[in-house]
Structure 1
Amino acid sequence: MADSPTQTGMDPEIFSQFIDQLQRYVRERLIPAEDVVIANDRIPDDLVDEMREMGLFGLTMPEEYGGSGMNVPQYVETIRVLSYALPAYRSITSINLGMVCSALKNSGTEEQKSEWLPRLAAGEIACFGLTEPGSGSDSAAMATTAKRDGNGYVLNGSKRYITNAPHAKLGLIMARTNDEALPRNAHVSAFLVPMDSDGVSVGKPDRKMGQSGSHIADIYLDDVKIPGNALLGGEEGRGFATAMQSLDNGRLSVAAASCGYARRILDTAVKYATQRKAFGEPISQFQLIQAMLADSQAEIYAAECMLRDASTKADRGKAIIECASAKMFASEMCNRVADRCVQVHGGAGYLAEYEAERFYRDSRIYTIYEGTTQILQLVIAKNMLREFAAGAAA
């Protein structure tokens, strides 16, 4: 498949200045506030407002809709820099940027873009409703339905593990518009659902292993009536394709988060190793400690290179294999780096007093959401085989 033209994106000099500003903001504002976020399990309102003022909710929105108009590599680099701090800071913005905005830009009507993109760019929070109690990657098992009702639809069902559901103003909800499991998932459609609609309710935020300050919850849809223009793109049967296209950006975001957080974790391990003494010298002088640090550095570098390559290719067109590979490798890498950080800390790494324990818990989700490692292995292999078959038939 021929590549499409690379998106122009933000002016490189302006982008470089923005990244310098963001790095300072991460270290001077976001990291010092982490203890407060963890203690209260929420980001303070003043910080969220500051993030809105910096444009962090509109990075990928076109400029005509109030966004920054970043291309994919710029967006991914911004997420990587932001993710040096607590994961909650990325989480509050990422669904807007990598999932819902992508779906609107790729599949929305002009009316839908004009209504929602400026609001999302200004900082209204969105959520992405695909997963259900009995359905995640298996769309054939999706139980949420959207039945025709005059010129509109009535939605019934529930969604599970939905990031930002407790705060969202808009939900991009996947639902069945056909009772049969049709080929290429054509039984699934996507709907733009205001979260204050009658019949929409959100469950209590789930308690989690890590990622304090980031909230997930169930969404319940009980005879939710929505107009016909809430159907994304105005066409039934394209919802799952839209979701999968959006997941490429979502997977790059998780890969970037894994790289950014792994760098923070390794910096912490290096600092501890140079300060902690055993047998009269810093443990950083012990070769087996050095081996763990070196392995971590090499893996982070490899993941960063994959991330840059995948984001560049995604900017030119479809990059399913590259995005899935980058997310799979980077997320597994981050888990390994977090594990080594605990090991470098020794007994202290098991105590909540030290950051290593929190890093270990926070990182574990990266190999699960936006496609588990095992699902991504299937995605990569199936697309490899599909490309081989197409080449053999040519």
Structure 2
Amino acid sequence: MDFTLTEEQQDFRRVLRSFVEKEIIPVARDYEHEGRYPTEIVEGLKDLGLFGITVPEEYGGLDLDPVSFALVFEELARGWMGVAGILGSHSLSCRMIAVHGTEEQRQTYLPGLATGEMRTGLGLTEPGAGTDMQGILTTARLEGDHYVLNGSKMWITNARYASVLPVIVKTDPSATPAHKGMSVILVEAGTPGFEVLKDIDKLGYKGPESCELLLDNVRVPQENLLGGVEGTGMQQTLSALEWGRVNIAARSVGVGQRAYEEALRYSQEREAFDQPISAFQAIQLKLASVATNLQAARLMTYWAASAVREGRADGETGMAKIFASEMALDAAIDSMKVHGGYGYSKEYEVERLYRDAPLMSIGEGTNDVLRTVVAKSLLAGRTAVG
């Protein structure tokens, strides 16, 4: 089994790392503390073509393979996890449109989304429905040649910048099981009744906005039904979320990598009892544990990404997301311990990593729920171990 990146992937990673080192790391801490939106960084992402990573080449995108897709989020999160979030929701939405949209929908939206001239996200979560998507209450009622949408959404990344937003709704609220009555509708910015109510203040994951949305009698043309067929929204969304779990696992690896680098550097610079603290066995044990789990999470993420390329991979992506996200939190905590009192200061990077890390165990399905997804995949024989 070959765990080596191709030469093209290695070159791509070098380009990404150079961008992160020059354009993100020097400003991330200040931007985050100021609550400043990273407009300049977003422009750099556009210049690199990264808004088109899941858009087919025929519509102007890069159409990256899943491992290269993972590299993007690993490297960006190493610099600033919030910036990776701006690209994450956008990329999953682009993939939904590319795979499930009608040709007219692809032609209308994908070229602009590929360049970043247009932006997007995912309108999934609601105040009373997160991981349980079948519990959503937002509805879309067909009146003539328009759907009328009513409901609300929460925690929507890119909501203020989205030119078009795929929103999951119930076109048949009485359907049993509920997922057979769920659809995705593309809602364009500026549509009357479609309103961003507020930005939600967060512990970490600064940079991108996370918003509450209101849909009050929003009229959307019938041709904006994703794929043109009602009742397929759950399947469309879940197929995108497999890539989403690779995205989250890769972001976790990026956060873990940065936590390791900060701990390693600090342990070699900080002295106690007339020697670097890296000379103490207690510190060495922490560094070894972080490095070991980090590399295991990286390999599992690439393995899951490779499985996505072969088809359905809910078990593999679930495993990778669970392991990598828990690694990231452990790495941030251990890095903070290596830093001692300075790790609690906003002057050091590890404080931000510590606040960013917990999100990965929650986003794209909580880890506890994902364990049941993995178990079902194992029992169904879709995922093999050993």
Normalising by the smaller structure, the TM-score range is over 0.9
**1:116 corresponds to 2:109:** yes
Shift of 1:85: 0.5
Partner Cα distance (1:207, 1:361) in 2: 13
SS in 2 for 1:203: strand
Deviation at 1:21, TM superposition (A): 1.8
1:71-113 alpha-carbon deviations (Å, 9 max, x no partner): 111111222122210112211111121x211211221111111
How many residue pairs are counted as aligned between the two chains? 377
CA distance in 1, matches of 2:7, 2:352: 36
Q: Which ranges of structure 1 fall in alignment gaps of 5 or more residues?
A: 1-11, 389-394
Aligned-partner SS, 1:214: coil
Q: Residue 131 of structure 2 contacts residue 366 of structure 2 at CA under 8 Å; is this kept in 1?
A: no
Contact 1:58-1:68 within 8 A present in 2 as well: yes
Cα shift at 1:16: 3.9
Matched, 1:334 2:328: yes
After superposition, what is the alpha-carbon deviation per residue over 1:98-153, rounded to whole angstroms, capped at 9, x for unaligned?
x2112112211111111111111111221201110111222332110000110220
Trace 1:304-323 onto structure 2 (pairs within 5 A): 304-323=298-317
Match of 1:351 in 2: 345
Q: TM-score, normalised by structure 2?
A: 0.94
Provide Cα deviations, 1:131-184, integer angstroms capped at 9, x if missing partner: 101112223321100001102200000001111112211111000011224227
- SS of corresponding position for 1:92: helix
Aligned to 1:102: 95
Partner of 2:67: 73
Aligned in 2, Cα 1:16/1:281: closer, same or farther, shift over 3 Å? closer
Identical counterparts, % of pairs: 37
CA distance, structure 1, for counterparts of residue 380 and residue 133 of structure 2: 20
Alignment-derived partner of residue 156 in structure 2: 162
RMSD: 1.6
SS at match of 1:60: coil
Task: Give CA-to-partner distance per residue, 1:265-290, whole Å, 9 cap, x none.
Answer: 10000111111111111111111111
Name the amino acid aligned to 1:120. Answer: L
- Aligned partner of 1:6 in structure 2 is none
1:282 correspondence with 2:291: no
Alignment of 1:138-153 (within 5 A): 138-153=132-147
Tell me what 2:3 maps to: none
Of 112, 119, 124, which aligns to 1:130?
A: 124
TM-score of the superposition, structure 1-length normalised?
A: 0.92
**3-state DSSP class of the match of 1:96?**
helix
- Match of residue 365 from structure 2: 371
Aligned counterpart in structure 1 of residue 42 of structure 2, from 41, 48, 53: 48
Maintained 8 Å contact 1:162/1:218: yes
Distance 2:178 2:301 in 1: 28
Whole-angstrom CA distance in 2 between matches of 1:200 and 1:162: 13
Q: Structure 2: give runs of 5+ residues left out of the alignment.
A: 1-5
Can you list the C-alpha shifts for 1:166-206, whole angstroms capped at 9, x where unaligned?
22111110000112242271111001111211110002211
